[in-house]
Amino acid sequence: MKRKTDARVIRSQSWIKESFLQLLESHDYEFIAVQDIMNEAQMNRVTFYRHFEGKDHLLQTIVNELFDLCEYNLESCEEHYDFVTVKLPHPRFIRLLEFIKSQERVFFIFLIKQELPLFQKRFHQLIEQSTRSTLSVALKFNHSVKFPRGITETFIASSITGSIMWWIEQDHSCSAYELASYITEMIDYGIYS
């Protein structure tokens, strides 16, 4: 039987994470000390070390929780959908963009402001995995690609990653559905009219 976590533990961890995010909005990651986080949280260092091994562990915990939540969000999404024939973005892609929008502060801090390699690597892995999965679906519906699959996957994943970063930097200047539609159309039909 799974043991229930004490509400005080959850609250303390939440305050520490929120304090860390607040500091990351205005300070570089490498210049933030555990004491700075705890001063922001108005707690003592002993409380921090009761929950986290150090600043890197705190970062890893936040990143893992975010991507676990993202993957949970995507699990329920219809995967076997012939988006190429209907000429619409894949529902999984729309759901991913909606998730990013719902977590815009964290994505902005980690992906754009701080450019943290740990976060960027996990983000790119998520995009690559989603690209492989979506391309596999298209191939199952007997659609073919013009180029070798490896370079096609790399091109699509890099285009999506760059487009999402642009979208975040532009303060989500279009909806998740619109961005998914633009990217899908550019990938499927090119950029020229």
Amino acid identity for residue 191 in this structure: I
- 75 and 26: one domain? no
Tell me how crowded residue 182 is: count the other CB atoms within 10 A of its CB.
15
Whether residue 101 sits in one domain with residue 15 = no
Q: Is residue 2 assigned to a domain?
A: no
Rounded percentage of the chain residues whose pLDDT exceeds 90: 77
Tokens linked to 15: 């305050």
User: Average pLDDT in the 56-63 region?
Assistant: 97
- On whether residue 183 sits in a domain, the answer given is yes
- Considering the entire predicted model, what is its pTM? 0.90
Identify which of 157, 160, 153, 147 has the alpha carbon closest to the alpha carbon of residue 135. Answer: 153
Nearest to 156 by CA among 83, 60, 98, 102: 83
Range of 21's domain? 7-52
Let me know whether 41 and 82 are in one domain: no
- Pairwise CA distance, residues 2 & 5, whole Å: 9
- At 24-59, the pLDDT tens digits run 999 999 999 999 999 999 999 999 999 999 999 999
CATH number at residue 18: 1.10.10.60
Report whether 62 contacts 20 (CB < 8 A). Answer: yes
User: Does 34 share its domain with 125?
Assistant: no
Q: Is residue 68 in a domain?
A: yes
In 27-143, alpha helices (H): 34-41, 45-51, 55-75, 83-86, 91-102, 104-107, 117-140
Which has the minimum average pLDDT: 76-80, 137-141, 180-184, 187-191? 76-80
**Looking at the 3D structure of the chain, how many domains does it have?**
2
Q: Chain centroid to CA 81: how far? A: 23
Give domain status of residue 126, yes or no. yes
- DSSP state letter for 82: -
Pair (48, 65) in one structural domain? no
pLDDT over threshold 60, residue 178: yes
* 124/29 same-domain check: no
129 plus 182 within the same structural domain: yes
Q: Is 1 inside any structural domain?
A: no
Does 147 map to a domain? yes
Instruction: Return the pLDDT at 1.
Output: 42
